Amino acid sequence: MLPQKQIESALQAAVSAVLPAADVSAVLVRPCDPKFGDYQSNALMSLAKQLKLNPRQLATDVVAKLDVSAVCEKVEIAGAGFLNFRLKNSVLVAALQSAARGEHLFFAKAAAPKTVVVDFSSPNVAKPMHVGHIRSTGIGDALQRTLRLLGHTVVADNHIGDWGTQFGLLLLGWKKILDRAALEREPIAELERIYKTTNAECDANPAQREEAKLELVKLQAGDAENVAIWQEMIVLSQKQFATIYRRLGVKFDVALGESFYNPWLGEVVADLLTRGIARESEGAVGVFSDGTLPPKEDPFLVSRDGEWVADPALVRKSDGGFNYMTTDLATIGYRLKTWSPTAIVYVVDDRQFGHFKKLFLTFARWKAEDSKRTKLVHVGFGKILGDDGKPFKTRSGDTVKLGDLLDEAEKRAFKIVSEKSPDMPEAQRKEIARVIGLGAVKYADLLPNRQSDYIFSWDKMLALTGNTAPYLQYAYARIKSIFRKAEGTIQNAEIHLAAEQELILAKHLLNFGFTLEAVAEEYRPNYLCNYLYELAGKFTGFYENCPVLKAEDEATRNSRLALCALTAQVLQQGLQTLGIETVEQM
């Protein structure tokens, strides 16, 4: 068990000894500012507040019952009631030593593994993937990788938009203005063109809009011609998706599009009606407020002119068609039946907050028993904005295509690699540029807090210096360079930690698991980015101050080599968890 966990359980036991009735689940220990110690707990202060006790006195009582002598130096009570812990050097060394033996990599698998469906990426058929898709795809992929690493069972599901109103327009456009040659050259661009053109024509001509609707109805009724066209569009789109996902290194366990759930939509609505959860209104069917929530918190109510009026979640349109609320409910039904997940995580734009609020409440009413076992989570993220602070568009009015962004990233990286290593064979430079360029883009998207909107900038997205993936990859490559120069292999080296920078680095390595758990707990990959950036920084501090190959003696050299090897492993594992590759040289 990692020292931090040992301290935590000892502390919880001590608190229970002093306050038998207290809930100790919030009694946590976390890494802290080195000037106070290695770990700290502030839990006693909030506990004292709840129970109206003197925090210093509580701390004194708890410390009297606390035995962490196996892992810590003397425990200090500081400030208003902080507990500061300082690790014994021998314990730190032992943790590193066991990691060096391959027993762990500073994290523990979850004690109670969960089954989690992660729903992410979700591009639309017949539309190009653009920069916006990097958010759902990158965050979702990093989260599913983190959950897997921690030992959970994950179902990565790409809920592709392959069924909906847009197909009415696409079918009409296909029949009227499709340019076959263009379709063969650039299928997605052509599909986008017919969609846009037809949409514009429908805006101008309502009769044409009706025609498009008719095409959709025919498709949904199984009309052979329309189904064939629709399938062709899907095949073309899937080629595009596959290319992008291959480049990004993103894999899904299943990719069940919206159309997959089509057969169940009718019965979902029927079921909702029978149970009295949904009712008819103005020819449509919707889920209405059940009055259990105060109006302000009730997503099924909206205030108009000072009065609360119904704002239902429609599950059947007045024309008899279904919409995405229906699909999402059917999808939940399928996922429950197929995987019995502990949680379903939706990595979707924050703008759909209202939709998910309605969806989750409807689910709880529809499947009350299941909703106790399966938690639905909307992992929302902010928008990508242009320089003007408005949702991102290029000058021509289109968003930047994801493929173009990746191309540019590799191009810029290639230029730098060629400058830095002109003697390297071109194929190798290309491969390094691919890893670095892609890493830069992914990391740039993962670094900010997911809920913040961020302003898109080519230079920031593709930056290769500063707090970027290449900085982390560089630290890794430097370590690899040391090992290329080191002669012979070092096995079971004894680790000694004496220099300040060695201790700082070693202690930070121990926090890898804490960080991974925080990422999984709050669905925030940026914690891992920051952790790795700090790790690379602390490694560099060590590297600048502590000679490895030219260490003063053999024992120090071997110990430092072991520390380097562990750092490289954590860097690589951490980057991999973010979906970012490493290179041996760059």
What part of residues 116-155 is at the interface with RNA (CB under 7 A)?
124
Distance CA(415)–CA(431), nearest Å, equals 12
Q: Which of 447, 495, 487 is nearest to 467 (CA)?
A: 447
Select from 91-99, 281-289, 370-378, 502-510 the region that touches RNA (CB under 7 A): 281-289
- 330 neighbors 261 (Cβ within 8 angstroms): yes
List the x/- string, 404-433, binding to RNA by CB under 7 A: ---------x--xx--xx----------x-
> Please, which residues bridge with residue 391 across strands?
385
* Helix orientation angle between 353-366 and 265-274, rounded to the nearest 10 degrees: 60
Subset of 523-542 contacting RNA (CB under 7 A): 524, 526-527, 530, 533, 537, 540-541
State the nearest-atom distance from the C-beta of 161 to RNA, in Å: 5
Binding to RNA (CB under 7 A) within 468-487 occurs at: 468, 470-471, 474, 477-478, 480-482, 485
Q: Which of 164, 249, 386, 403 binds RNA (CB under 7 A)?
A: 164
Under the binding rule (CB under 7 A), the answer on residue 278 touching RNA is no
For RNA, give the closer residue by CB, 137 or 468.
468
Judged by CB under 7 A, the chain residues 213 through 242 that form the site for RNA are none
Stretch that binds RNA, among 194-202, 225-233, 387-395, 572-580 (CB under 7 A): 387-395
Q: For the CA atoms of 573, 576, 578, 580, what is the dihedral angle to 10 degrees?
A: 130
320-339 footprint of RNA as x/- string (CB under 7 A): -x-xx--x------------
Contact track, RNA, 21-60, x by CB under 7 A: -------x-xxxx-xx---x-x--xx--x-----x-----
- For position 390 contacting RNA by CB under 7 A, the verdict is yes
Q: Which residues of 277-302 are buried (b: 16+ CB within 10 A; e: fewer)?
A: ebeeeeebbbbbbeeeeeeeebbbbe
Distance in angstroms (rounded) separating the CA atoms of residues 107 and 151 = 11
Q: Does 318 bind RNA (CB under 7 A)?
A: yes
To RNA, the closest distance from the beta carbon of 404 in angstroms equals 20
Q: Tell me which residue of 215, 4, 189 sits closest to 95, measured CA to CA.
A: 4
- Max distance between CA atoms of the chain, in angstroms, equals 86
- 60 by Cβ neighbours in 10 Å (0-12 / 13-18 / 19+) ranks as middle
* Interface region with RNA, contact rule CB under 7 A, candidates 12-20, 334-342, 462-470, 502-510: 462-470
For residue 317, the SS3 value is coil
CB of 470 to RNA, least distance (A): 4
Which position among 289, 342, 467, 573 is part of the footprint of RNA (CB under 7 A)?
Answer: 467
The residues facing 385 across adjacent strands are 391, 455
By CB under 7 A, which span of 57-65, 150-158, 271-279, 547-555 interacts with RNA?
A: 547-555
Binding of residue 3 to RNA (CB under 7 A) = no
Q: Which is nearer to RNA, 341 or 439 (CB)?
A: 439
Site membership for RNA, residue 514 (CB under 7 A): yes
- Regarding 352 and contact with RNA (CB under 7 A), the answer is yes
| Pair of tokens at residue 48 | 């004292």
Contact set for RNA, span 297-316 (CB under 7 A): 302-306, 310-312, 314
224-248 and 132-149 are packed helices; what angle lies between their axes, rounded to 10 degrees? 70
* Binding span for RNA by CB under 7 A among 143-151, 183-191, 234-242, 453-461: 453-461
CA distances to 97, 510, 511 from 104, in Å: 10, 11, 13
The interface region with RNA, picked from 103-111, 236-244, 332-340, 344-352 by CB under 7 A, is: 344-352
When asked if residue 453 is in the footprint of RNA (CB under 7 A), the reply is yes
Using DSSP's 3-state secondary structure scheme, residue 107 falls into: coil
Q: Does 488 bind RNA (CB under 7 A)?
A: no
Q: Determine the size of the site formed for RNA (CB under 7 A).
A: 113
**Binding-site member from 8, 15, 39, 82 for RNA (CB under 7 A):** 82
Q: What Å distances lie between residue 364 and 159, 323, 370, 371, 559, CA to CA?
A: 21, 19, 8, 5, 56
User: Please, which of residues 178-217 interact with RNA by CB under 7 A?
Assistant: none
From residue 559, give the alpha-carbon distance in Å to each of 87, 93, 105, 503: 19, 10, 17, 12
Report how far residue 432's alpha carbon sits from residue 582's, in angstroms, rounded to the nearest whole number: 9
Of 121, 166, 569, 572, the one binding RNA (CB under 7 A) is: 166
Residue type, 9: S
Which CB, 31 or 403, lies closer to RNA?
31
Q: Is 449 an interacting residue with respect to RNA (CB under 7 A)? A: yes
What's the CA dihedral at 402, 403, 404, 405 to 10 degrees? Answer: 50
Contact indicator for 293, 235 with CB cutoff of 8 Å: no
* Tally of CB atoms within 10 A around 409: 24
Q: By CB under 7 A, which span of 1-9, 139-147, 187-195, 384-392 interacts with RNA? A: 384-392
Pick 115 or 165: Cβ nearer RNA:
165
Residue 116 or 160 having the CB closest to RNA: 160
Coil, helix or strand at residue 329:
helix
Minimum CB separation of residue 185 from RNA in Å reads 27
